[in-house]
Structure 1
Amino acid sequence: MRVDIWSDIVCPWCYIGKARFERALASFEHADEVEVEFHSFQLDPSAPEEPEPLLSFLADRYGMSTDQARETDAGAGANAEGEGLAYTSARKNANTFDAHRLLHLARERGRQREAVDTLFRANFGEGADVFGREALVGLAEKAGLDADEARRVLEEGRYADHVKADVEQARALGATGVPFFVIDERYGVSGAQPADVFTRVLEKAWEERD
């Protein structure tokens, strides 16, 4: 059975939703027969390439004070910590297109899950740079990819069409935000739902397989 997940590495609810889905999958009787594939989705394709502090970005984008931005992010942080995830508001925001291109390389090399984990952990857990090309090369290497190949991918613009195709597919499926999960190409689950919701959908999809 196949599960497709659309997400963005700067989306805290994608980070949380992934953890909740994986908790459900770990207790699913047929987990070893489930193939999971991640797909690209940019929350803000117009975001600048130059990183800026997250709280400043939120305040400017949504017309709120820094304290209000901190309070908004704290809500996601409490949910993340409830899942046992490391979380810091002292992180930055920028365009994620290059990171998504790197994730497509990771998928072709059989290291996609490791790459997604590495990017989420670096961004949300450590507040590390996940935007600059050399920073991305270093993270790719941590995920088990070849650093030289990762650098060539980023320099040559490879996988740009793959990222765009993922986004178009999500829109065709009716997804307007992420995380967005498609179970067995039939059941859509939107948002960082509780683990038991994913459990019920996994069980239902398995029971109804032809």
Structure 2
Amino acid sequence: MKVEIWSDVNCPFCYLGVSQFNEALGDFAHRGETEVIHRSFELDPDQPRGASGDVVEHLAEKYGFTREQAAQGELQIAEKAEQFGLPYVTVGRDFGDSFDMHRLVHFAAESGRAEDMLLALFHANFGEEGKLFGDRERLVRIAVYEGLDEAEVRAVLADETRYAQAVRDDEALARELRCQGVPYFVLDRHFVLSGAQPAEVYADFLRQGWEHHVATAAE
């Protein structure tokens, strides 16, 4: 059985949703027979390369909020993250161009570390203060900590064509599958679940998908 997950490091609901999906998958009886593929989706693909800005100011501008309203929204997400046992920093974070991060996840996938890389980026963005977007040195440190070769990581980041088509292919597939927001979960190209859900919702999703997978294989 195959589950494809579209997400973006900028997206707090992806941070929450992927965490809860993994919790459900950890308890799933057939997790060893379930392949998970992480796919790219840029929330704002028009961001200039290397762009970085204050996350609260970005949210206020994007949604027409006051800065106070945007800050309150961040606090509400932090409360939800706490319920899921996840750290969430509401100040001192940035928002920006995630294209290099998606390329690094594809690079990490070649050695079976795509999820490790993605989760490390989520943690760096939402669980720690400090600039992440546009800071290549921090990206290098994160990737190396996850076991990737430093010279190869630097070579990937220096050449913007590497894995760029893989990112674009993921985004084209998302459009084909009518994905308009993330996180977006697709099971065997048959079942779809979107948004950050509690672990029990993902557990039902996996069970339903497995039943269909088994029935289809038996036909």
TM-score scaled by length of structure 2: 0.92
On the 8 A contact 1:122/1:129 being kept in 2, the answer is: no
- Rounded to whole Å, the distance in 1 between the matches of 2:62 and 2:205 is 36
**How far does the alpha carbon of each residue in 1:147-179 deviate from its partner, in whole angstroms, 9 at most, with x for none?**
110110111111111111101101100100000
Residue of structure 2 in register with 1:28 after alignment: 28
The whole-number CA distance in structure 2 between the counterparts of 1:6 and 1:88 is 23
Report the CA distance between 1:79 and its aligned residue: 1.3
Aligned residue type for 2:55 = L
How far off its partner does 1:33 sit?
1.5
Deviation at 1:62, TM superposition (A): 2.4
Q: Secondary structure at the match of 1:52?
A: strand
After superposition, residues 65-84 of structure 1 pair within 5 angstroms as: 65-84=66-85
Which residue of the partner structure matches residue 187 of structure 1? 191
CA-CA distance at 1:3 after TM superposition: 0.9
Deviation (angstroms), 1:128: 3.6
Shift of 1:142: 1.2
What displacement does 1:47 show?
Answer: 2.4
Corresponding residue number in structure 1 for 2:103: 101
Distance in 2 of aligned mates of 1:71 and 1:164: 34
Q: What SS class does the counterpart of residue 22 from structure 2 fall into? A: helix
Amino acid at match of 1:117: L
Deviation string, structure 1 residues 2-29 (Cα, Å, up to 9, x no partner) = 1110000010000000111111111111
Matching of residues 96-175 of structure 1 within 5 Å? 96-131=98-133, 132-157=135-160, 158-175=162-179
Q: Which residue of 2 aligns with 1:40?
A: 40
In 2, Cα distance between the equivalents of 1:202 and 1:60? 37
The question of whether the paired residues in 2 share the 8 Å contact of 1:14 and 1:192 is answered with yes
| Unaligned stretches of 5+ residues in structure 2 | none
Partner SS, residue 5 of structure 2: strand
1:58–1:69 contact (8 Å) kept in structure 2 = yes
Distance 2:36 2:102 in 1: 17
The alignment covers a number of residue pairs equal to 210
* 1:11 matched residue in structure 2: 11
Instruction: Give, in whole Å, the separation in 1 of the partners of 2:106 and 2:117.
Output: 10
For structure 1, the 5+ residue unaligned runs are: none
What CA distance in whole angstroms lies between the structure 2 residues aligned with 1:145 and 1:177?
Answer: 30
Percentage of pairs with the same residue: 43
Name the counterpart of 2:51: 50
Greater shift after overlay, 66-75 or 93-102?
66-75
- Give the Cα–Cα distance (whole angstroms) in 2 for the partners of residues 63 and 4 of structure 1: 32
Please say if residues 118 and 142 of structure 1, whose CA atoms lie closer than 8 Å, have aligned partners that are also in contact: no
In 1, Cα distance between equivalents of 2:130 and 2:108:
20
- 1:20-76 CA-partner distances (Å, limit 9, x unpaired): 111111111111221111000001112243311111111222232211110112222
**Contact kept? 1:100, 1:163, Cα under 8 Å:** yes
1:201 aligns with 2:205: yes
SS of structure 2 residue aligned to 1:5? strand
Q: RMSD of aligned C-alpha atoms?
A: 1.2
- Measured after TM superposition, the shift of residue 100 of structure 1 is 0.5
Q: Runs ≥4 in structure 1, deviation > 6 angstroms? A: none
Normalised by the size of structure 1, how large is the TM-score?
A: 0.95
Q: Which residue of 1 aligns with 2:61?
A: 60
User: Using the alignment, how far apart are the partners of 2:55 and 2:122 within structure 1?
Assistant: 15
Residue 151 of structure 1 aligns with an amino acid whose one-letter code is R
Contact 1:99 1:130 (8 Å CA) reproduced:
no
Residue identity matched to 1:188: V
